[in-house]
Amino acid sequence: MCKYLGFLFIYFLSSSLFGSTDNPQVLEFYNQGKESADNGSFTQSLRYLNQALGFLRQSSSTHPMRIAIEKEIRIVKGKSLVARY
């Protein structure tokens, strides 16, 4: 019984210290970033996407949400450069 309590304590402590990858704010910032990019507000879009990525700093580099956010950041940066010239 004590082993299970210790495991649960370590699990909850690590998730609170290092952040959860299932945070609903990540998805909200990601969606706001995509919407801003579709409206042509690339600077605001990058702000939202960087905030979303900030929640996933401690996650694995192969985390699907992290990959999607990094991909969207590259797309928005490209659209921003094309719109400028």
pLDDT in tens, 4-30: 544 444 444 444 444 455 688 999 999
More confident residue, 73 or 23: 73
33 Cβ contact list (under 8 Å, min separation 6):
45, 46, 47, 48, 49, 52, 69, 72, 76
Question: Where does the pLDDT of residue 82 fall: very low under 50, low under 70, confident under 90, or very high at 90 and above?
Answer: very high
d(CA 7, CA 3): 6
pLDDT per position as a tens digit, 27-62: 999 999 999 999 999 999 999 999 999 999 888 999
Which pLDDT score, from 0 to 100, does residue 85 have? 85
Query: CA torsion sign, 5 to 8 to 12 to 13?
Result: positive
DSSP letter (8 states) at residue 59 = S
Q: What are phi and psi of 77, to 5 degrees?
A: -60, -40
